[in-house]
Amino acid sequence: MPSSALEGNYTKQTLIGCVWASAQFTTRGNSPVDSSTSSRLLEWLTFHLYIANIDHIYVYDNSGAHTDKGSLENITKLFPPNRVTRIDWPFPVCNNNIPAHWNTGERSSQYAAEASCRIRYGPYAEFLASFDTDEYLTPMGNWSDLKQWLTQGVSSDTNILSFFSSKASANYDFMQPYWDGGECGLNETDAKCVTKRPDALYIETYNCDINPLPKPDWAERAKKQIYRPSYVLNHYVHYSTVTRGTAMYYAEAKRRKLHWPRYYSEHKPSERRIDDLKEATMIHTKSSVPQETREHKVKCHKDYTMRNQYDKCRVGFAQPLDWKIGDIDFRESDGFKYNCYPNPRLAKEFIPKLRSLLESFGNYTSFNSLVEGSVHVRKRF
């Protein structure tokens, strides 16, 4: 609980954010170590504090579960304490399915962190968003930021707002050759794969969604939500699982002359999806694995014919912002076919602003190299 709340002078905030993150981690089981969180967090916090205008973000730092040296404190301390709070959260991920299954996909530590944030800080905020450092909640339409939208564009009887999620492609224009001495090539001359350039921002690299807006209905499966913590009593990553509506007694509903279905589910206007074009949208910037791009020179070309739904190009070639029906659907310079759609507002307004803000932290390329090499992985248990 914020100390100011204990002192009785705490002002209720409009929107707070909760994120569970680690300086280094493995996404699943024995997958390769990912050490990009520090550079991601710097960009992510800057975007959501100073562009999306979230009041306060609580960072549940899970680094201690994976490493003896380093944490995310070197990033969080760059921001004012009244905007960012780091909570040391060294609890490991538990999986009650071991040894039956190798994939430790259950993120128990994350689930507990999300519950902690909602219970501890939710009472002091009108809205709460729990999401990841590869997810960017972006204002759209005529809204300048998320707070303006929530206070002026969301009715008082709406409690849960869902952002549909579809993974973006890594834009080839922000990539560089990659080799690993194996399947990606023996050296620079032989490089067969590509990876993000160190000077490129994550949000500009992945500002290339596989579908044009609005997002398709199937993108609901991995949705994230902004919700009123006064109404949502339990939230689980993608879903509001227990709400005041679901917890209502039959007798109470009858007394208040409300409909009480046997199988309760939230519905409009209490819960609704956001309008991707007029309100806000979510950019999912999950990193692409370089090895997946190995055949991009063949599979991304306009003359290639896919053999099945999995036999596809793994690199993004952005449709030009000024593209219109009737224009050619491939790049004349190299024959690669356009296969993803950039968000014009991000490209023209928010990304330039974000890059300018990040200049206050010094050279971005040097910063990436510094933070990604600053921690050492400890053997997991």
Q: How far is CA 249 from the centre of its chain?
A: 36
Output the six-digit token pair for 89. Answer: 């959260």
Q: Is 96 exposed, middle or buried (0-12, 13-18, 19+ CB in 10 A)?
A: exposed
Q: Could you tell me the end-to-end alpha-carbon distance of the chain, in angstroms, rounded to an integer? A: 31
Output the six-digit token pair for 330. Answer: 């491939």
Global pTM value: 0.88
Flag whether pLDDT at 203 surpasses 60: yes
Question: What local confidence, expressed as pLDDT, does residue 182 receive?
Answer: 93
Per the listing, tokens 């579809």 go with: 166
Helix 37-50 / helix 351-358 crossing angle, nearest 10 deg:
110
Angstrom distance (rounded) from CA 11 to CA 319? 45
Flag whether pLDDT at 79 surpasses 60: yes
Q: Grade residue 374 by pLDDT with cuts at 50, 70 and 90.
A: very low
Contact 61, 72 (CB under 8 A): yes
Q: Grade residue 33 by pLDDT with cuts at 50, 70 and 90.
A: low
Instruction: Supply the DSSP string of 4-16, one letter for each residue.
Output: HHHTT-PPPEEEE
Q: Is 205 exposed, middle or buried (0-12, 13-18, 19+ CB in 10 A)?
A: buried
365 compared with 347, residue with greater pLDDT: 347
The average confidence (pLDDT) of the chain is 87
Element (H, E) at 345: helix 344-345
Contact 194, 172 (CB under 8 A): yes
Q: What is the largest CA-CA distance in the chain?
A: 76
Question: What local confidence, expressed as pLDDT, does residue 4 receive?
Answer: 38
Flag whether pLDDT at 9 surpasses 80: no
Other CB atoms within 10 Å distance of the CB of residue 13: 17
Average the pLDDT over each of 66-70, 115-119, 303-307, 346-350 and give the range with the smallest value.
66-70
Angstrom distance (rounded) from CA 243 to CA 264? 10
Query: Which amino acid, 120?
Result: R
In terms of average pLDDT, the best of 2-6, 308-312, 322-326 is 322-326
Average the pLDDT over each of 98-102, 155-159, 197-201, 361-365 and give the range with the smallest value.
98-102
Output the six-digit token pair for 27. Answer: 């996404």
Percent of the chain with pLDDT over 90: 70
Q: Which of 40, 36, 19, 18 is nearest to 27 (CA)?
A: 36
Flag whether pLDDT at 216 surpasses 60: yes
Output the six-digit token pair for 46. Answer: 């800057």
Question: What local confidence, expressed as pLDDT, does residue 25 receive?
Answer: 64
Question: What local confidence, expressed as pLDDT, does residue 8 receive?
Answer: 44
Question: What local confidence, expressed as pLDDT, does residue 70 receive?
Answer: 80
| pLDDT (mean) for 184-210 | 95
| pLDDT (mean) for 176-183 | 94
Output the six-digit token pair for 162. Answer: 């869902």
Flag whether pLDDT at 29 surpasses 70: no
Question: What local confidence, expressed as pLDDT, does residue 267 receive?
Answer: 85
Flag whether pLDDT at 249 surpasses 70: yes
The CATH T-level fold of domain 3-168+211-287+345-376 is Spore Coat Polysaccharide Biosynthesis Protein SpsA; Chain A (3.90.550)
Domain ranges of the chain: 3-168+211-287+345-376
Percent of the chain with pLDDT over 70: 86
Q: How far is CA 34 from the centre of its chain?
A: 15
Flag whether pLDDT at 2 surpasses 60: no
Annotate 111-138 with b (16+ C-beta within 10 A) or e (fewer): bebbbbbbeebbebbbbbbbbbbbbbbb
Q: Grade residue 3 by pLDDT with cuts at 50, 70 and 90.
A: very low
Question: What local confidence, expressed as pLDDT, does residue 261 receive?
Answer: 72
Output the six-digit token pair for 12. Answer: 């209720």
Flag whether pLDDT at 63 surpasses 70: yes
Average the pLDDT over each of 103-107, 188-192, 310-314, 328-332 and give the range with the smallest value.
103-107
pLDDT digits (tens, 9 = 90+) for 276-302: 999 999 999 998 889 999 999 999 999
pLDDT digits (tens, 9 = 90+) for 220-248: 999 999 999 999 999 999 999 999 988 88
Output the six-digit token pair for 7. Answer: 């002192």
Flag whether pLDDT at 381 surpasses 90: no
Angstrom distance (rounded) from CA 272 to CA 310? 32
Angstrom distance (rounded) from CA 153 to CA 116? 29
Angstrom distance (rounded) from CA 120 to CA 320? 45
